Amino acid sequence: MTALDRSSSGVAAIGLVVHPTRDVERPLSAVREWARERGVALGQVDSFGSRRPLGPAAEVADCDLVVAIGGDGTTLAAIRAAAPAARPVLGVACGSLGALTAVPAGEVGGALERFARGDWVSRSIPALRVTAGSGARLAAYNDLAVVRAGPGQLRVTARVDGVLYARMAGDGCIVSTPAGSSAYTIASGGPLLAPALRAYVLTGLPRHGGFSPPLVLDADSTLELDVQSGHGGARLELDGRAVDEPARELTVAFDADAALLVAFSDQEPHLTGLRRRGIVADSPRIVADDARYAEAAGSSSSAQELMQ
């Protein structure tokens, strides 16, 4: 760690990754105060998308914990930085949907205290290990997408363990981990995967005819994508960001324990969070029934009060 003195007790050093533009001063101040009171070193971890200077730089391998303050994109940036050194990431939600964050901004001090005394549980985050035709090795923790870069359809041939699944002509495809299935995948008509499921899913983007439903693959299966593009070309995106790698021949494998998130035993269940954020919603008829029953119950209570 550069320019940081390590404490000899408890958590010695924390690395920070923050949203580049969002107002994070309140939780950031809470982290700084907690660290100062306990003699814990703080440093800024180098990560994609982090452009806000916070202080001395920190090597992630020298940190006991990486704290991500922002939202899911910030947490993903922290995961990418922390995973090679096998360091846990604590995600702090600041006005975001927060599928990967463990605590809201106002509770970061208590969360750090719980982490320091070992009152936390580890949540393994899988990754898609991607090998490009050039030999480059890449990783995606939410999803990878092959999309049109301009006019002209893409032709994607998908094989599973060497067996042809489908040939799709259209806008491309997306491959998602369980953690990422609640984002681009379900927006494209794919399934929602339970977070602990050892599987990943291939979903075609809008296609020109044919039939190739979303395919859930076993964790031990290998997916091969052969991409032929029109004159507009193709673009490869990992976790929502374009990468400078040709989207042609891609081999995808599943890594179940690629990264580590900090979670707490009293944290809301994953499905509850999806409902709270409106990603999963009840049928309008059922919502209307609930409103009608609540109105009837309220009218009955009012009548009883008048009779007393």
CATH number of the domain that residue 219 is part of? 2.60.200.30
- 232 shares a domain with 159: yes
Percent of residues, the chain, with pLDDT higher than 70: 91
- 268 shares a domain with 253: no
pLDDT digits (tens, 9 = 90+) for 143-159: 999 999 888 899 999 99
- 149 shares a domain with 67: no
Indicate whether 268 belongs to any domain: yes
- 144 shares a domain with 226: yes
- 138 shares a domain with 241: yes
Number of domains making up the chain: 2
pLDDT digits (tens, 9 = 90+) for 185-242: 999 999 999 988 999 999 999 888 889 999 999 999 999 999 999 888 999 999 989 9
Q: Which domain holds residue 46?
A: 13-120+264-276
- 253 shares a domain with 201: yes
Catalytic residue among 5, 23, 46, 72: 72
Residue 7 has a pLDDT of 40
- pTM of structure: 0.85
Q: If you average pLDDT over residues 278-303, what whole number do you get?
A: 84
Indicate whether 306 belongs to any domain: no
Residue 46 has a pLDDT of 83
**Is the confidence at residue 129, as pLDDT, over 60?**
yes
| Cα 252 from Cα 144, distance rounded (Å) | 9
- 134 shares a domain with 155: yes
Mean pLDDT of the chain: 89
Question: Cβ contacts of residue 102 below 8 Å, gap of 6+?
Answer: 90, 91, 92, 111, 261, 262, 263, 264, 267
Residue 72 annotated among the catalytic residues of the structure: yes
Of 270, 281, 101, the C-alpha closest to 195 is 270
Residue count (the chain) = 308
Please state, in angstroms and as integers, the Cα–Cα distance from residue 102 to each residue in 90, 92, 262, 266, 280, following that order. Answer: 7, 6, 7, 10, 19
- 87 shares a domain with 61: yes
Indicate whether 269 belongs to any domain: yes
- 97 shares a domain with 35: yes
Q: If you average pLDDT over residues 124-136, what whole number do you get?
A: 94
